[in-house]
């Protein structure tokens, strides 16, 4: 069959794409940047999708449309309403007009009764799809785990901390499902003669949030440790500081509401029962690369905060705390004299503070990190030629630039694979 997957570069979408391709289907990716995709792809951008007059034409000769687009929190103009409701509805309407045989909607477990914007925005699209006279399948997965999964990466990083952080007492119930079982469900739906399918996608057994994190700790080969209960006040702020969209107030609400269901309907459909995460992943051991990734996951935001603080504090010290006469003396050593010395001092301090603030905000971070490396290298080269004795200073004002540049470079590399 000819199948279009919208959101084919995401964790779930890419797994479905590869699974259907291996199953012998002709698969097309509907993505934001099709020119960067290595296989067949067309441009479908949910963030800007409105009344695309070409959308129906794009769906001509497509047998099945799969919507695997989902965001865990709004960002960069991507709202829940646009990404989970408005754009999917336009896709569904276009699919019907193009005489697509079936639509498969990847929803989320809990949307039918959930109260968060995440749940309600998904539910509106689900309900609209069910109102159309077209064959559909709506899948409601619990937490999906697997390689490259963002939630998996976060759980592993939290589990690798010296003390494992939990919400309240960690008794919240979830029922994770392996990405492979989700893909097998989609593969079996494609040739199915059932007109309308709705399935909760869960593993065989539920697990508490605390047991989940401790299970990941065991998977990573780490010794048992204590847990620490964290308050939920300020969750959104913490999430923004850590640049971690999964850490937000709505997700805490969804976690506390629980996320489990009866596995039997899925087992009957698949012909086998999806193994629980305890009997599947937690019976294995992570390789060294996975252990390293888990340990570095939270290093990225930590480095961003530290580097941003260094720039801000450097600017404050230069402009307001360090003896001005000594600061101007340093400028005189590199050839800057009155009346330019004082303005240049304050301009440099302002630049340092600005760089620090932008770094903390994470705005255009990769080019900003490259800019920082260039600034430090230029500064170091100038002082090396104009005031080389600073290399022999006991406090190492120039020597410390070496680890700082390396640290910034490490953060730059981590940003490329976030």
Residues 181-191 pLDDT 10s: 999 999 999 99
Answer left, alpha or beta for residue 77, where phi above 0 means left and psi between -120 and 50 means alpha. left
Q: Is 169 a residue whose pLDDT tops 80?
A: yes
CA distances from 288 to 111, 214, 292, 294 (A): 37, 19, 6, 10
Mean pLDDT, rounded, for 222-242: 76
Q: What span, in angstroms and rounded, lies between the C-alpha atoms of 110 and 373? A: 46
Sign of CA dihedral 11, 87, 249, 358: positive
pLDDT at 237 over 80: no
For helices 179-189 and 11-22, the axis angle rounded to 10 degrees is 50
Phi, psi for 214 (deg, rounded to 5): -70, -30
- Those residues whose C-beta lies under 8 Å from the C-beta of residue 192, and which sit 6 or more positions away, are 137
Query: Could you tell me which residue, 242 or 129, shows the higher pLDDT?
Result: 129
- Judge residue 279's burial from the number of C-beta atoms within 10 Å of its C-beta, 0-12 exposed, 13-18 middle, 19 or more buried: exposed
| pLDDT mean across residues, the chain | 90
What are 30's strand-pairing partners?
6, 42
What average pLDDT does the segment 211-237 reach?
Answer: 85
Contacts by 217-222, CB closer than 8 A, 24 or more apart: 217/159, 217/160, 217/164, 218/282, 219/156, 219/159, 219/281, 219/282, 219/284, 219/285, 219/286, 220/156, 220/159, 220/160, 220/286, 220/290, 220/291, 220/294, 221/285, 221/286, 221/291, 222/159, 222/160
> Does residue 348 sit in helix, strand or coil?
helix
Cα–Cα nearest to 320, from 355, 348, 281, 289? 348
Task: Look at residue 400 in the predicted model and tell me its pLDDT.
Answer: 92
Q: What pLDDT was estimated at residue 386? A: 85
Task: Answer for the pair 171, 201: CB distance below 8 angstroms, yes or no.
Answer: no
> Has residue 156 got a pLDDT over 90?
yes
pLDDT digits (tens, 9 = 90+) for 44-72: 999 888 766 789 999 999 999 999 999 88
Rounded to whole angstroms, how far apart are CA atoms 297 and 290?
10
- Is the pLDDT confidence value at 267 over 80? yes
**Domains, the chain:** 1-141 (3.40.50.720), 301-416 (no CATH)
| In 165-208, alpha helices (H) | 179-189
Computed over its alpha carbons, how large is the radius of gyration of the chain?
26
Structure confidence by residue, pLDDT tens digits, 361-416: 888 899 999 999 999 999 899 889 888 888 888 888 889 999 999 999 999 988 87
User: Is the pLDDT confidence value at 285 over 90?
Assistant: yes
SS3 324: helix
Show Cβ contacts of residue 299 under 8 Å, excluding neighbours closer than 6 positions: 414
**406 dihedral zone (left: phi>0; alpha: psi -120 to 50; beta):** alpha
Give me the percent of the chain exceeding a pLDDT of 90.
64
Is the omega angle on the peptide bond into residue 366 within 30 degrees of 0, that is, cis?
A: no
For 94-111, the pLDDT digits (tens) are 999 999 999 999 999 999
Question: Which whole number is the average pLDDT over 290-298?
Answer: 87
Q: What is the pLDDT of residue 189?
A: 97
Give the pLDDT score at 236: 61
Question: 10 Å Cβ neighbour count for 165?
Answer: 13
**Residue 407: predicted pLDDT:** 96
Sheet with 41-43, side-by-side order of all strands: 41-43, 26-31, 2-6, 64-67, 102-106, 135-141, 196-201
**How far is the C-alpha of 415 from the C-alpha of 364, rounded, in Å?**
11
pLDDT digits (tens, 9 = 90+) for 127-151: 999 999 999 999 999 999 998 888 8
Nearest residue to 219 (alpha-carbon basis) of 142, 145, 143 = 145
pLDDT more than 70, % of the chain: 95
pLDDT at position 77 over 90? no
Dig out the tokens for 96 from the structure: 């019907």
């Amino acid at each position: 069959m000819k199948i279009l997957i919208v959101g084919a570069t995401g964790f779930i979408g890419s797994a479905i794409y590869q699974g259907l391709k291996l199953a012998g289907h002709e698969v097309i990716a509907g993505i934001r940047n099709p020119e960067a995709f290595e296989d067949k792809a067309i441009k479908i951008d949910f963030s800007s999708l409105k009344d695309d007059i070409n959308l129906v034409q794009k769906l001509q000769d497509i047998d099945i449309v799969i919507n695997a687009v989902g965001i865990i929190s709004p960002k960069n103009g991507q709202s829940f309403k646009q990404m989970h409701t408005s754009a999917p509805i336009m896709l569904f309407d276009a699919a019907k007009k193009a005489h697509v045989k079936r639509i498969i909607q990847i929803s989320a477990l809990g949307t039918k009764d959930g109260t968060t914007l995440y749940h309600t925005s998904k539910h509106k699209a689900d309900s609209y799809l069910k109102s159309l006279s077209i064959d559909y399948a709506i899948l409601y997965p619990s937490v999906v785990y697997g390689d490259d999964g963002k939630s998996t990466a976060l759980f592993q990083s939290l589990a690798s901390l010296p003390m494992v952080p939990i919400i309240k007492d960690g008794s919240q119930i979830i029922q994770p499902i392996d990405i492979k079982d989700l893909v097998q469900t989609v593969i079996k739906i494609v040739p199915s003669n059932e007109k309308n399918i709705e399935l909760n996608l869960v593993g065989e057994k539920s697990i508490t949030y605390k047991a989940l994190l401790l299970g990941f700790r065991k998977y990573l080969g780490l010794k048992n440790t204590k847990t620490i209960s964290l308050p939920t006040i300020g969750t959104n702020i913490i999430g923004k500081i850590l640049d971690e969209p999964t850490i937000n107030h709505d997700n805490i609400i969804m976690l506390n509401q629980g996320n489990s269901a009866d596995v039997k309907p899925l087992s009957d459909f698949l012909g086998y029962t999806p193994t629980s995460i305890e009997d599947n992943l937690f019976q294995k051991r992570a390789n060294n690369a996975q252990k390293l990734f888990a340990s570095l996951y939270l290093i990225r935001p930590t480095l961003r905060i530290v580097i941003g603080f260094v720039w801000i504090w450097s600017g404050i010290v230069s402009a307001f705390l360090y003896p001005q006469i000594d600061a101007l003396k340093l400028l005189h050593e590199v050839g800057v004299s009155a009346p330019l010395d004082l303005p240049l001092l304050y301009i440099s301090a302002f630049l340092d503070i600005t760089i620090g603030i932008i770094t903390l905000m994470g705005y255009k971070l990769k080019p900003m990190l490259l800019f920082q490396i260039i600034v430090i290298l230029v500064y170091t080269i100038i002082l090396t030629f104009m005031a080389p004795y600073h290399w022999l200073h006991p406090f190492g004002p120039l020597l410390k630039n070496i680890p700082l540049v390396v640290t910034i470079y490490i953060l730059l590399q981590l940003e490329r694979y976030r």
